C-alpha cells in the first residue's frame, strides 16, 4: 500500500483524541505540555505527529497510553479507542489494553531492554502479562515468526541485548510491540540514535509490519524528512497545541500555518545550496505560553488579534486543517 490517499469517511476512526490536556505540576507553576489537542486516527493509517523539543509530543504519546506519572496529569479531554473511552477504564482493563490493542515503542526503548534477559524471554514477558502463554513449541514458532517479520534471524531469540546492534535492538522493540497484534502502534522517535542507513531499514520494517497487521501507526518525531517518507497524514505541534493537520503531500507543497511554512523553509535541501533560513526567536517555555496564538511572537504575519485570541482549527480544504487567524 504505497501512498494511500485519504478518503474522508472511507476508513473508520480507530483512535480519537479530543481536547486532551496534559499538565505537569511543578513548584514554578503548571507546565502545559499538551494543551487542547484533538485528532482522529483512521484504521490502517500512518499518522505523523511532528514537533520540536518542548512541543509536548512525547507527553501526547504517553497520555494516549495512560502512562503519565505524577507530577504530570491528564487535566482534561478524552481518548477513545474503537469507541471505548480509554481514560475512563479501570486500571486492570487498561493494562489488558496496552500491548494487546495499543502498543508503544517509547523513545530510547532500545536502551531500555532488560540487559540480563534474552530476547526470547522479553517477548514472552508480554504474552505472560496478558495470560496468553502458549505451550513451548507454539511459543517458539510465534517468536520465530515475529523475528522474521522484523527481518531478524531466528537465532537472535537467544541473544542478549548487548550482543545486538542499535538497529537490531530497535527491531526487537518493534517485534515486542507487535507481538499481540495491536490495532494501534505509537512509535516515539524510534530512530533517533540510529545512523541514516539503519534508520531506513528500521522504518521500512515498521512500514512492513504495519501493512501486514493492518494496524495504524502514530509516528512521533521531529525529523520532517522522516515524516515525508513514512506517513500518510501529518500533524504539526507547537507549544503543546496542534497548529496544522493535513495529508502529508499538502503539508509539504502548500503549508498553511506560518510555523509550518517556516519550518519547511528551514529544511536544508540536497538540490541546491541556499541561504540558511532559521526561525527567529525561541520556542516558548511551556510554563509561560504566550496568550492568543502561541506562535505570534515569532510570526512575521502576526496581527493584533493574534496576541489576544487563540485561533481555532479550521478545515481550510477537505481534510486540511490549520489554526491561524490568517485563514
Partner 1 sequence: MTETAQSALLEARHVTKIFGGGLFDKTRTIALEDFSMAIESEPPSITAVVGESGSGKTTLARLLLGLADSTSGEVLYKGKNLRRMSGDDWRSFRRDVQVIFQDPFEVYNPFYKVDHVLTTPVEKFNLAKSKQESRALVEDVLHTVGLRPEETLGRYPHQLSGGQRQRVMVARALILKPRLIVADEPVSMIDASLRATVLGSLKQLNQDFGISIIYITHDLTTAYQISDNIIVLYRGSVAEVGDVELVVRQPQHPYTRLLVGSIPLPDPERRWAAEAPAALSVKRVDGRRCKFVDRCPSATDVCLTGVPALFQTNSYRAAACFLYQGSPVLKAEEMDRVFVEAPERRGVRRPDADGGRAAATG
Partner 2 sequence: MASVPTAAAQSLPVEPSEGGLGEKLRGVLGYMRRNPPLIVGLVLLLSLLLFCGIGALVYDLNRARPLSVPPGLPPAADYPFGTDNQGRDLFAVMVAGTPLTLRIGLMAGFIGLFVGTVLAFVSAYYGGLIDTIIRGVVDIGLTVPGLLVMIIIAIAVKGNLSVEQMALVVACLAWLYPTRTIRSQVLSMRERAYVQVARLSGMSGPEIIVKEMLPNLLPYLLASLVGATASAVLASIGLEALGLGPLESPTIGMTLYWVIYYSALLLGMWWWFIPPIVIIIILFVGLFNLSVGLDELANPRLRRSV
Q: How far is the CB of 204 from partner 1 (least distance, A)?
A: 7
**Residue 226 contacts partner 1 per CB under 8 A:** yes
**Residue 282 contacts partner 1 per CB under 8 A:** yes
**Residue 29 contacts partner 1 per CB under 8 A:** no
179 binds, among partner 1, partner 2, none (CB under 5 to 8 A by kind): none
The answer to whether residues 185 and 210 touch, using CB atoms and an 8 Å cutoff, is: yes
- List beta partners, residue 13: 42
Of 238 and 321, CB closest to partner 2: 238
Q: How far is the CB of 77 from partner 1 (least distance, A)?
A: 27
Which of 106, 77, 61 lies closest to 235 in space, CA to CA? 61
- List beta partners, residue 50: 221, 236
Q: How far is the CB of 262 from partner 1 (least distance, A)?
A: 7
d(C-alpha 274, C-alpha 319), whole Å:
32
φ/ψ of 111, rounded to 5, equals -90, -5
**Residue 300 contacts partner 1 per CB under 8 A:** no
Q: How far is the CB of 276 from partner 2 (least distance, A)?
A: 20
Of 267 and 327, CB closest to partner 1: 267
**Residue 249 contacts partner 1 per CB under 8 A:** yes
The answer to whether residues 113 and 173 touch, using CB atoms and an 8 Å cutoff, is: yes
Let me know if 40 is exposed, middle or buried by CB neighbors in 10 A (0-12, 13-18, 19+): middle
Q: Which residues bind partner 2 (CB under 8 A)?
A: 24, 26-28, 31, 33, 52-54, 56, 58-59, 69-72, 282-283, 285-287
Binding map of partner 1 across residues 304-323, x = CB under 8 A, - = no contact = --------------------
| Start-end of H helices in the chain | 57-64, 91-97, 119-129, 136-149, 166-178, 196-213, 224-230, 248-253, 258-265
Of 174-213, which residues contact partner 1 (CB under 8 A)? 195-201, 203-204
Of 54 and 166, CB closest to partner 2: 54
**Residue 275 contacts partner 1 per CB under 8 A:** yes
38 binds, among partner 1, partner 2, none (CB under 5 to 8 A by kind): none
Q: How far is the CB of 289 from partner 1 (least distance, A)?
A: 16
d(C-alpha 187, C-alpha 198), whole Å:
16
Angle at 70 between CA 26 and CA 287, to 5 degrees: 30
Let me know if 304 is exposed, middle or buried by CB neighbors in 10 A (0-12, 13-18, 19+): exposed
Of 73 and 207, CB closest to partner 2: 73
In angstroms, how far is CA 153 from the centroid of its own chain?
Answer: 28
Task: For residue 63, give the C-alpha cell.
Answer: 497520555
Those residues whose C-beta lies under 8 Å from the C-beta of residue 35, and which sit 6 or more positions away, are: 21, 56, 239, 240, 241, 289
The answer to whether residues 63 and 79 touch, using CB atoms and an 8 Å cutoff, is: yes
Among 252, 284, 290, 326, binds partner 1 (CB under 8 A): 252
Q: How far is the CB of 111 from partner 2 (least distance, A)?
A: 15
Among 112, 266, 308, 317, binds partner 1 (CB under 8 A): 266
Of 7 and 53, CB closest to partner 1: 53
33 binds, among partner 2, partner 1, none (CB under 5 to 8 A by kind): partner 2
Q: Give the interface with partner 1 as residue ranges (CB under 8 A).
A: 2-3, 52-53, 166, 195-201, 203-204, 222-229, 248-249, 252, 262-264, 266-270, 273-279, 282-283
Amino acid at each position: 500500500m504505497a501512498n494511500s490517499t485519504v478518503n474522508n469517511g472511507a476508513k473508520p476512526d480507530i483512535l480519537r483524541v479530543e481536547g486532551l490536556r496534559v499538565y505537569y505540576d511543578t513548584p514554578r507553576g503548571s507546565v502545559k505540555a499538551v494543551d487542547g489537542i484533538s485528532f482522529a486516527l483512521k484504521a490502517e493509517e500512518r499518522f505523523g505527529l511532528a514537533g520540536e523539543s518542548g512541543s509536548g509530543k512525547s507527553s501526547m504519546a504517553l497520555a494516549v497510553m495512560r502512562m503519565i506519572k505524577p507530577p504530570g496529569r491528564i487535566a482534561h479531554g478524552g481518548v477513545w479507542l474503537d469507541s471505548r473511552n480509554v481514560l475512563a477504564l479501570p486500571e486492570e482493563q487498561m493494562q489488558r489494553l496496552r500491548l494487546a490493542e495499543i502498543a508503544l515503542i517509547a523513545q530510547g526503548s532500545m536502551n531500555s531492554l532488560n540487559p540480563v534477559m534474552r530476547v526470547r524471554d522479553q517477548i514472552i514477558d508480554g504474552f505472560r502479562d496478558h495470560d496468553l502463554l502458549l505451550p513451548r513449541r507454539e511459543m517458539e514458532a510465534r517468536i520465530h515468526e515475529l523475528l522474521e517479520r522484523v527481518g531478524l534471524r531466528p537465532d537472535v531469540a537467544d541473544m542478549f541485548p548487548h550482543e545486538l546492534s542499535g538497529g537490531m535492538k530497535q527491531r526487537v522493540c518493534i517485534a515486542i510491540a507487535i507481538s499481540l497484534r495491536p490495532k494501534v502502534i505509537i512509535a516515539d522517535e524510534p530512530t533517533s540514535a540510529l545512523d541514516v542507513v539503519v534508520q531506513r531499514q528500521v522504518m521500512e520494517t515498521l512500514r512492513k509490519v504495519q501493512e501486514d497487521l493492518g494496524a495504524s501507526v502514530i509516528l512521533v518525531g521531529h525529523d520532517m524528512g522522516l515524516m515525508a517518507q513514512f506517513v500518510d497524514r501529518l500533524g504539526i505541534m507547537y507549544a503543546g497545541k496542534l497548529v496544522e493537520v493535513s495529508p502529508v503531500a499538502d503539508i509539504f507543497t502548500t503549508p498553511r500555518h506560518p510555523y509550518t511554512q517556516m519550518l519547511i523553509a528551514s529544511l536544508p535541501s540536497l538540490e541546491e545550496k541556499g541561504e540558511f533560513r532559521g526561525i527567529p526567536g525561541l520556542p516558548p517555555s511551556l510554563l509561560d505560553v504566550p496568550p492568543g496564538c502561541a506562535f505570534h511572537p515569532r510570526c512575521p504575519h502576526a496581527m493584533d488579534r493574534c496576541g489576544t485570541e487563540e485561533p481555532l482549527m479550521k478545515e481550510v480544504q477537505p481534510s486540511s486543517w490549520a489554526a491561524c487567524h490568517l485563514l
